[in-house]
Chain A
Amino acid sequence: MTSGLSILNLRVNVSATGNDIVDEIDLKIQKGRVTGLVGESGSGKTTVGLAVLGHARRGVEIVQGEIYCDDTDVLNLDEGSKREIRGSLVSYVPQDPTSSLNPALRIGVQILEVLETHNFGGSDQARRVRVREMMAEVLLPSDDEYLERYPHQLSGGQQQRVVLAMAFACRPAVIVLDEPTTGLDVSTQEHVLKTIRNLSSQHGVAALYITHDLAVVSELADDVAVMYAGRIIEQGSAYDIFNNPSHPYTRHLVAAAPDIAGEQQIVGLAGRAPSPGKRPNGCAFSVRCESVTDDCLGQFPQSVSISQSHFARCINIRKSETSAKPESIKLVKKASSNTVLELRNISAGYGGQSVVEEISLILGRGQCLALVGESGSGKTTVARCIGGLHTEWSGEIFLNNEKLNRGSRQRRIEQRLGIQYIFQNPYGSLNPRRTVGDSIIRPLIISGSTGSTVKKELNEVLEKVSLPSAYSDKFPDQLSGGERQRVAIARALISRPDVLVCDEITSALDVLVQAAVVDLLATLQRDLGLAILFITHNLPLVRSIADEVAVMSDGKVVEFGDTATVIGHPVQEYTQRLISATPSIARSSK
């Protein structure tokens, strides 16, 4: 065995049913190299990542395969020996640092305990020195005051650095990074990625970087493996994958990644990845593939070699190479400038501390205005003022030329219905105990509608967001993230609003679903003449939906203009920084 990580023919099952979650996984990573493991949510990426540590979640078991970290055969160790290598020979960086750090323990203690567990350095003194050394390596203060903080006293980016310090503390040979930058804003993400890159090369570890974000992979990875429905369907160097994607699914992924440098429009892919036990015979991607033939339905295609180090599992590789790119959707911008929503000199704060200063914005019917900025720039606060969810503000807000009261409870029912708010997290914004239909018709019931009109409206609105009417009887937990966000949009639409306030509504979704949701919004905007305030930290996403962009920093609008101008020729240094901080495929493909 060479040093680094090798996975041979790994299979992981759902214990109860014997269905595979992942199968036929072969992957090799040499010391000092980073491999990106890419796929939609549910494709089995995390399952593979955890298997590298010999760990399987509740109800799941590793049934076949071999995994070597350096020369250690991980899967053949007993539980005690597995514990010995976890955190020392192979370590794990989880997706969400906020929930992965113990809220009741100080961060210094949490770093120290991994060293203690593995008796690193031989003495307490050496371990304490090591903790400070690691804090410095991840660019955090290493004084006592800082080490005695609790996780909640740190920002998301700082928490992720603490987790990184923990993961690298015992000098592992292999490290699994499971979407470590999801949920961080672009600037923070850039810093964290830089830290990961430096640590990986300095420590000479073999890194498996799991993500759904292709742009991040292109920044960081030497090699890329693309997963779909539990199989690796394409594998090659980062250059091969981005410049010569061969599997139809990879081509979709590369096309769907928001790209700031190109003029490329975001393209959605209908349907979702089949879950374990519901996967079709033959190629699992066949149901969504546009170049599917009868031959695809027999068995899962064998690996086809495209070049020496580039493989894909598709029988149509030669044929599909020339197939056209999927059709793109362009937004129709209406010329009419009749204003729906106007903000005049809005200032807002929390407990006397000012967060938003003197902001004025105008939104016309059928227009989409993007509000872009780092987290903490005040963009969500502006949205909450508009929706009447935040009441500590001064200035004036007009809806259809009528002045609005501060809180939503002081507003008339038509005014409340006229502005609809869609939240970032579709998992938290739907009542889990109510059926989808119940949740959607809530605004109608509150405004006094009854019986048959409600039923009719419900069906209409479900059709608008492309959900089957049978979905109205489902509960939120039976839906995917994208479907839930569609439900949230339907709930907003049913009140026939003038303005839709979308607060980071795609940030919890993976790229393909993101694209589909943005497609849907664009269609609705065109068909219904909706005015949309689209709040995001993701500049590339803005290019394909917004007519105009307002860039916010520290509670002020620092740049404003039509989308092409702001992104193409940013005037402010802050905007330039936002743009250059966004990982971009075209810019960085090697």
Chain B
Amino acid sequence: MPIIKFISRRLGLGVVTLFAVSLLIFLVTQAFPSDPAQAILGRETTPESLDALRQELGLYRPAVTQFSDWLIGILHGDFGKSFVTQMQISEYIAPRVGNSLFLMVVGAFLSVPLSVAIGAFSALRRDRKFDTISSTTSLILAAIPEFVMGTALILFFSTSIFHVLPAITLIDAGAAPWSDPSGVVLPILTLVLAVTPYVSRTMRASMVEILESDYVEMARLKGMSERVVLIRHALPNALGPVFQVIALNLAYLAGGTVIVERLFNYPGIGSALADSVRARDLPVIQFLALMIAGVYVLMNLVADVATVLATPRLRTSLK
């Protein structure tokens, strides 16, 4: 099957990419100006205990050894221990990955169909009222950073105007995110508002182009109803370019939730990343950065495969 070959080739490339990323992550964490031991023990400590902790954390090993130990560990499924909590990273992070995944999946399931629908409908009603309103709104939304958006939502729904939703998410350790349904509404809403404008604008542009195409005019001149023209002739061709934008935005949801999670005190990987950077918890930083890079690689792969499958010209030229 050519498509299997295509996917495995791209997966191989993805592994190479991830290796390069891991090297980069390691170099960047090495270049951090401050010292994890110092960060853990605080200012009032003795040089001796600092020295002992550094020894214990393995910071005196040569850089190459540190990198190769880390890499070999990863290949064995061992991501190391957190400097701060001394827990195995997989143990420490797993529930948070689940929490973030929940945000991401729910956000995606809401925003993708919503933005495809908005985009397609705007294109159909091009230059009419719905299009003008949705285009302007999405432009404004796209221009607002999500922490501003999140703050505005908190002001509106939690503190100043209404008091219907909690301003922060309170999930007990080990509990599922849906145990506090009202607490996840605002974070999800913020993410949906951050992603929808991009995808819907791309969908609109793609759809406008397709609706002006010769084959759509041809389909109309064959006497087909507007609904069939739309569903059979326009949509399949318009979706191809949109896959890419959807994938990039989903990947963004995985990594870019840092600020949103922070804002709502949501216990996901975003807030874990922020915490670990402040504490110079190098193994956790490295693991999270690598995982987010992995999501990017995977999403791009999925988008490329989807585009190829949706485009006969590409599909039939696979070797």
Which residues from chain B sit less than 8 Å from chain A, CB to CB? 212-215, 217-225, 228, 232-233, 236-237, 310-313, 316
Please name all residues of chain A whose beta carbon is closer than 8 Å to the beta carbon of B222 when the two chains form the complex: 86-87, 91, 113-114, 117, 166
Closest-CB distance, A196 to chain B (whole angstroms): 17
Which residues from chain A sit less than 8 Å from chain B, CB to CB? 50, 53, 55, 57-58, 83-88, 91-92, 94, 96, 99-105, 113-114, 117-118, 150, 152-153, 163, 166
Instruction: Select one of A86, A94, A96 contacting B223, CB under 8 A.
Output: A86
Q: Is the CB of A83 within 8 A of B223?
A: yes
Q: Is the CB of A104 within 8 A of B312?
A: yes
Residue in B closest to A167 when the chains form the complex, CB atoms: B222
Closest-CB distance, A98 to chain B (whole angstroms): 9
Instruction: Select one of B224, B236, B310, B313 contacting A113, CB under 8 A.
Output: B224
Please name all residues of chain B whose beta carbon is closer than 8 Å to the beta carbon of A102 when the two chains form the complex: 215, 218-219, 233, 237
Please name all residues of chain B whose beta carbon is closer than 8 Å to the beta carbon of A92 when the two chains form the complex: 218, 221
Q: Is the CB of A150 within 8 A of B223?
A: no
Q: Is the CB of A104 within 8 A of B220?
A: no
Please name all residues of chain A whose beta carbon is closer than 8 Å to the beta carbon of B217 when the two chains form the complex: 55, 57, 94, 100
Closest-CB distance, B124 to chain A (whole angstroms): 13
Q: Is the CB of B237 within 8 A of A104?
A: yes
Alpha-carbon distance between A57 and B221 when the two chains are bound, in angstroms: 11
Q: Is the CB of A87 within 8 A of B212?
A: no
Please name all residues of chain A whose beta carbon is closer than 8 Å to the beta carbon of B212 when the two chains form the complex: 58
Q: List 24 A-B contacts (CB under 8 A).
A: A55-B217, A58-B212, A83-B225, A86-B220, A87-B223, A87-B224, A91-B221, A100-B218, A101-B218, A102-B215, A102-B233, A102-B237, A103-B311, A103-B313, A104-B237, A104-B310, A105-B232, A113-B224, A114-B223, A114-B224, A117-B223, A118-B223, A152-B313, A166-B222
Please name all residues of chain B whose beta carbon is closer than 8 Å to the beta carbon of A105 when the two chains form the complex: 232-233
Please name all residues of chain B whose beta carbon is closer than 8 Å to the beta carbon of A57 when the two chains form the complex: 217
Q: Is the CB of A103 within 8 A of B237?
A: yes
Closest-CB distance, A102 to chain B (whole angstroms): 4
Q: Is the CB of A99 within 8 A of B213?
A: yes
Instruction: Select one of B214, B218, B311 contacting A104, CB under 8 A.
Output: B311
Most buried by B among A53, A101, A102, A117: A102
Q: Is the CB of B311 within 8 A of A94?
A: no
Most buried by A among B212, B218, B220, B236: B218
Q: Is the CB of B233 within 8 A of A96?
A: no
Alpha-carbon distance between A85 and B313 when the two chains are bound, in angstroms: 32
Closest-CB distance, A17 to chain B (whole angstroms): 17
Please name all residues of chain A whose beta carbon is closer than 8 Å to the beta carbon of B223 when the two chains form the complex: 83-88, 114, 117-118
Alpha-carbon distance between A164 and B213 when the two chains are bound, in angstroms: 19
Known: A99-B214, A103-B215, A105-B232. A150 touches B221 (CB 8 A): no
Please name all residues of chain A whose beta carbon is closer than 8 Å to the beta carbon of B232 when the two chains form the complex: 105, 113
Alpha-carbon distance between A85 and B225 when the two chains are bound, in angstroms: 12
Closest-CB distance, B125 to chain A (whole angstroms): 13
Alpha-carbon distance between A57 and B213 when the two chains are bound, in angstroms: 12
Please name all residues of chain B whose beta carbon is closer than 8 Å to the beta carbon of A91 when the two chains form the complex: 221-222
Closest-CB distance, B141 to chain A (whole angstroms): 28
